[in-house]
Structure 1
Amino acid sequence: MKAPKTAAVAATGAWTDPDGYRMPSGEVHAWTPGTNQTLCGLSIHRSELRRFSHVEWVDVQPATGRDADQVSDVCRRCAAAMGGRRDERPWKRTDPRP
Protein backbone atom coordinates (compact mmCIF):
# COMPACT_ATOMS: atom_id res chain seq x y z
CA MET A 1 0.00 0.00 0.00
CA LYS A 2 1.41 3.37 -1.01
CA ALA A 3 1.34 6.43 1.19
CA PRO A 4 -1.06 9.14 0.00
CA LYS A 5 0.64 12.15 -1.53
CA THR A 6 -1.58 14.74 0.13
CA ALA A 7 -3.99 14.76 3.04
CA ALA A 8 -6.08 17.32 4.83
CA VAL A 9 -6.15 17.76 8.59
CA ALA A 10 -8.54 16.77 11.36
CA ALA A 11 -7.84 18.18 14.83
CA THR A 12 -9.17 18.21 18.37
CA GLY A 13 -9.55 22.00 18.44
CA ALA A 14 -9.69 25.13 16.33
CA TRP A 15 -8.55 28.73 16.53
CA THR A 16 -8.94 31.75 14.25
CA ASP A 17 -5.82 33.40 12.86
CA PRO A 18 -5.55 37.21 12.46
CA ASP A 19 -6.77 36.96 8.84
CA GLY A 20 -10.00 35.28 9.99
CA TYR A 21 -9.26 31.70 8.85
CA ARG A 22 -10.02 28.66 11.01
CA MET A 23 -6.83 26.75 11.85
CA PRO A 24 -6.27 23.45 13.70
CA SER A 25 -5.09 23.26 17.30
CA GLY A 26 -4.39 20.50 19.79
CA GLU A 27 -3.72 17.02 18.42
CA VAL A 28 -3.75 16.78 14.61
CA HIS A 29 -4.45 13.77 12.39
CA ALA A 30 -4.11 13.21 8.64
CA TRP A 31 -7.47 12.88 6.90
CA THR A 32 -8.45 12.15 3.31
CA PRO A 33 -11.44 14.29 2.29
CA GLY A 34 -14.47 12.21 1.39
CA THR A 35 -13.89 9.69 4.14
CA ASN A 36 -15.09 9.62 7.74
CA GLN A 37 -11.86 8.39 9.30
CA THR A 38 -8.28 9.51 9.71
CA LEU A 39 -5.35 7.61 8.22
CA CYS A 40 -4.67 6.02 11.61
CA GLY A 41 -8.22 4.63 11.70
CA LEU A 42 -10.00 6.98 14.12
CA SER A 43 -13.60 7.81 13.33
CA ILE A 44 -13.89 11.57 12.94
CA HIS A 45 -17.42 11.70 14.30
CA ARG A 46 -16.87 9.41 17.31
CA SER A 47 -13.55 11.06 18.20
CA GLU A 48 -15.19 14.50 17.90
CA LEU A 49 -12.47 15.76 15.57
CA ARG A 50 -12.91 18.89 13.48
CA ARG A 51 -12.16 18.79 9.76
CA PHE A 52 -9.92 21.31 8.05
CA SER A 53 -10.10 20.55 4.34
CA HIS A 54 -8.32 23.82 3.47
CA VAL A 55 -5.21 22.93 5.53
CA GLU A 56 -2.70 20.40 4.20
CA TRP A 57 -0.83 17.90 6.36
CA VAL A 58 2.58 19.43 5.60
CA ASP A 59 1.38 22.82 6.91
CA VAL A 60 0.74 21.55 10.46
CA GLN A 61 4.14 19.97 11.09
CA PRO A 62 5.67 21.83 14.06
CA ALA A 63 9.18 21.88 12.59
CA THR A 64 8.30 23.38 9.21
CA GLY A 65 4.59 24.13 8.97
CA ARG A 66 3.11 27.58 8.66
CA ASP A 67 -0.19 26.67 10.38
CA ALA A 68 1.36 24.86 13.36
CA ASP A 69 1.16 27.71 15.87
CA GLN A 70 -1.41 26.04 18.14
CA VAL A 71 -0.58 22.38 17.36
CA SER A 72 0.41 20.53 20.51
CA ASP A 73 0.80 16.98 19.18
CA VAL A 74 1.04 15.19 15.83
CA CYS A 75 -0.38 11.67 15.58
CA ARG A 76 2.55 9.29 15.04
CA ARG A 77 0.43 6.70 13.24
CA CYS A 78 -0.84 9.32 10.78
CA ALA A 79 2.71 10.59 10.26
CA ALA A 80 3.83 7.04 9.49
CA ALA A 81 0.90 6.56 7.10
CA MET A 82 1.93 9.74 5.29
CA GLY A 83 5.43 8.36 4.78
CA GLY A 84 7.22 9.59 7.89
CA ARG A 85 10.51 7.83 8.40
CA ARG A 86 11.00 5.46 11.29
CA ASP A 87 14.49 6.77 12.05
CA GLU A 88 13.32 10.37 12.63
CA ARG A 89 13.31 10.48 16.40
CA PRO A 90 11.75 13.31 18.44
CA TRP A 91 14.56 12.94 20.96
CA LYS A 92 18.35 13.02 20.93
CA ARG A 93 20.62 10.99 23.17
CA THR A 94 22.91 13.35 25.09
CA ASP A 95 24.78 10.98 27.39
CA PRO A 96 25.19 7.54 25.82
CA ARG A 97 26.24 4.65 27.96
CA PRO A 98 29.85 3.40 27.56
Structure 2
Amino acid sequence: MAASDQWLDDEGVRAPRGSVHAWRIGTNQTLCGIPLRKAGLRRFPHVLWPDARWLADTTDERLALCHRCAAAAGEHRDRRPWTRRRPRP
Protein backbone atom coordinates (compact mmCIF):
# COMPACT_ATOMS: atom_id res chain seq x y z
CA MET A 1 0.00 0.00 0.00
CA ALA A 2 1.20 3.52 -0.77
CA ALA A 3 -0.54 6.77 0.13
CA SER A 4 -0.02 10.51 -0.05
CA ASP A 5 -0.43 11.02 3.72
CA GLN A 6 -0.59 9.08 6.99
CA TRP A 7 -2.31 9.10 10.38
CA LEU A 8 -1.92 7.14 13.62
CA ASP A 9 -4.72 4.89 14.80
CA ASP A 10 -5.67 4.30 18.46
CA GLU A 11 -2.87 1.75 18.90
CA GLY A 12 -0.21 4.04 17.41
CA VAL A 13 0.10 2.17 14.09
CA ARG A 14 0.64 4.19 10.92
CA ALA A 15 -2.29 4.04 8.52
CA PRO A 16 -2.73 5.51 5.01
CA ARG A 17 -4.70 8.68 4.33
CA GLY A 18 -5.39 10.74 1.22
CA SER A 19 -4.80 9.24 -2.21
CA VAL A 20 -4.28 5.48 -1.68
CA HIS A 21 -2.69 3.17 -4.27
CA ALA A 22 -1.91 -0.55 -4.41
CA TRP A 23 1.83 -1.29 -4.34
CA ARG A 24 3.87 -4.49 -4.52
CA ILE A 25 6.85 -4.75 -2.20
CA GLY A 26 10.10 -4.71 -4.14
CA THR A 27 8.89 -2.39 -6.89
CA ASN A 28 9.20 1.38 -7.16
CA GLN A 29 5.77 2.05 -8.64
CA THR A 30 2.11 1.45 -7.90
CA LEU A 31 -0.03 -1.03 -9.83
CA CYS A 32 -1.41 1.84 -11.91
CA GLY A 33 2.13 2.93 -12.88
CA ILE A 34 2.77 5.95 -10.64
CA PRO A 35 6.40 6.14 -9.43
CA LEU A 36 6.50 6.29 -5.63
CA ARG A 37 9.43 8.68 -5.21
CA LYS A 38 8.40 11.24 -7.85
CA ALA A 39 4.78 11.33 -6.66
CA GLY A 40 5.83 11.65 -3.01
CA LEU A 41 3.89 8.57 -1.90
CA ARG A 42 4.63 6.94 1.45
CA ARG A 43 4.93 3.16 1.71
CA PHE A 44 2.76 1.07 4.03
CA PRO A 45 3.98 -2.53 3.64
CA HIS A 46 1.93 -3.67 6.67
CA VAL A 47 -1.42 -2.62 5.10
CA LEU A 48 -3.00 -4.82 2.42
CA TRP A 49 -5.46 -3.64 -0.27
CA PRO A 50 -8.52 -5.30 1.38
CA ASP A 51 -7.55 -3.58 4.65
CA ALA A 52 -7.43 -0.21 2.90
CA ARG A 53 -10.91 -0.81 1.47
CA TRP A 54 -12.11 -1.66 4.99
CA LEU A 55 -10.45 1.50 6.40
CA ALA A 56 -12.14 3.62 3.72
CA ASP A 57 -15.54 2.25 4.76
CA THR A 58 -15.15 2.28 8.55
CA THR A 59 -12.97 5.24 9.57
CA ASP A 60 -13.56 8.97 9.55
CA GLU A 61 -10.22 9.53 7.80
CA ARG A 62 -10.43 10.54 4.14
CA LEU A 63 -9.21 7.78 1.83
CA ALA A 64 -9.46 8.06 -1.94
CA LEU A 65 -8.81 4.59 -3.32
CA CYS A 66 -7.35 4.56 -6.83
CA HIS A 67 -9.82 2.94 -9.24
CA ARG A 68 -7.01 1.92 -11.63
CA CYS A 69 -5.17 0.12 -8.82
CA ALA A 70 -8.44 -1.56 -7.80
CA ALA A 71 -8.89 -2.87 -11.33
CA ALA A 72 -5.26 -4.04 -11.50
CA ALA A 73 -5.67 -5.82 -8.15
CA GLY A 74 -8.67 -7.70 -9.56
CA GLU A 75 -11.31 -6.17 -7.36
CA HIS A 76 -14.25 -7.00 -9.64
CA ARG A 77 -13.16 -10.41 -10.91
CA ASP A 78 -15.71 -12.23 -8.79
CA ARG A 79 -18.63 -10.49 -10.53
CA ARG A 80 -20.53 -12.21 -13.30
CA PRO A 81 -19.59 -11.16 -16.81
CA TRP A 82 -21.82 -8.69 -18.61
CA THR A 83 -24.74 -10.16 -20.61
CA ARG A 84 -27.40 -8.51 -22.75
CA ARG A 85 -30.87 -8.96 -21.24
CA ARG A 86 -33.01 -8.08 -24.27
CA PRO A 87 -31.14 -8.69 -27.51
CA ARG A 88 -32.38 -6.83 -30.53
CA PRO A 89 -34.31 -8.85 -33.15
Aligned length: 75
Partner SS state of residue 10, structure 2: coil
For residues 8-29 of structure 1, the C-alpha deviation after alignment (integer angstroms, 9 at most, x for no partner) is x100100001101000001100
Partners of 2:75 and 2:45 lie apart in 1 by 21
Larger strand fraction of residues: 1
Q: Which runs of 5 or more residues in structure 1 are unaligned?
A: 1-8, 89-98
The percentage of aligned residue pairs carrying the same residue is 49
1:26 aligns to 2:8 (yes or no): no
Q: Partner residue of 2:74?
A: 83
For residues 53-85 of structure 1, the C-alpha deviation after alignment (integer angstroms, 9 at most, x for no partner) is 000110011xxx1x3322421101000001122
TM-score of the superposition, structure 2-length normalised? 0.78
Q: Offset of 1:41 from its aligned partner?
A: 0.2
The verdict on how the C-alpha distance between 1:28 and 1:81 changes in structure 2, with shifts beyond 3 A counting, is same
The structure with more radius of gyration: 2
